[in-house]
Amino acid sequence: MTRQFPATLQTKLAERTVFTADLIELHLTDSLYLTSTNIDIDWDSPTAPDAGLNTYVAQGQFLNFGNIIESSDLRVGQLDMTFTAVDTATIALLINNEYLNKRVVIYRAILNDDYSFTNDDVYTIFDGRILGYSIREETNTATIVITVASQFADFERTNGRRTNPASQNREFASDQGMNFSAQIIQDIRWGRT
């Protein structure tokens, strides 16, 4: 995908050394604003759910994200974001399913030596939705890997009802008819011979 950057940004990118900061927005129930730099950064993002200036927090929670590959082909862009699992608040959000299909936007800011930048110095490197997560435990640490994908991730998905209690209770709040559906799903012959 060809990008049209302002001339000032093109000049900064052509310099011998480039100082960058990744600005990450997780649009969860309570939005999280994180940065990869060593200091907090205040910025008024055009996509932030909280209007006005937001503080992108420099913390030890966000570790990295996978490679982002741009292409002119129509395909699903997907990447993994890695967080430390020491923070139990993030784990609680994931376990309570408050993350599915929530928006994630990643910006890259080209910083001056004093960490300042203008809106022309920022560009979007990823915009997508959360698909799922996994927790990796090791001897001395644990990490959370959140998989995010572009808006075309579920392009071929067929919408409709599911045979689980949550789907049934959306339509019929007190119905318990699907409470044990996960245990008997292999025996149902609907639409099969």
* pLDDT tens, N- to C-terminus, the chain (193 residues): 446 777 777 777 777 777 888 898 988 878 888 888 889 999 999 999 888 899 998 876 666 676 555 555 545 577 888 877 666 666 666 666 667 888 999 998 988 888 888 888 888 888 888 888 888 777 777 788 888 887 655 545 556 666 677 777 777 788 877 776 666 555 556 665 5
What is the rounded CA–CA span in Å between residue 173 and residue 167?
Answer: 10
Contact status, residue 56 vs residue 35, Cβ threshold 8 Å: yes
Q: Where are the domains of the chain?
A: 7-154, 160-193
3 state SS of 181: helix
pTM: 0.67
Neighbours of 177 (CB within 10 A): 11
Question: In the sheet where 103-111 sits, what is the strand order?
Answer: 41-43, 54-58, 32-35, 19-26, 103-111, 122-137, 142-149, 78-84, 62-65
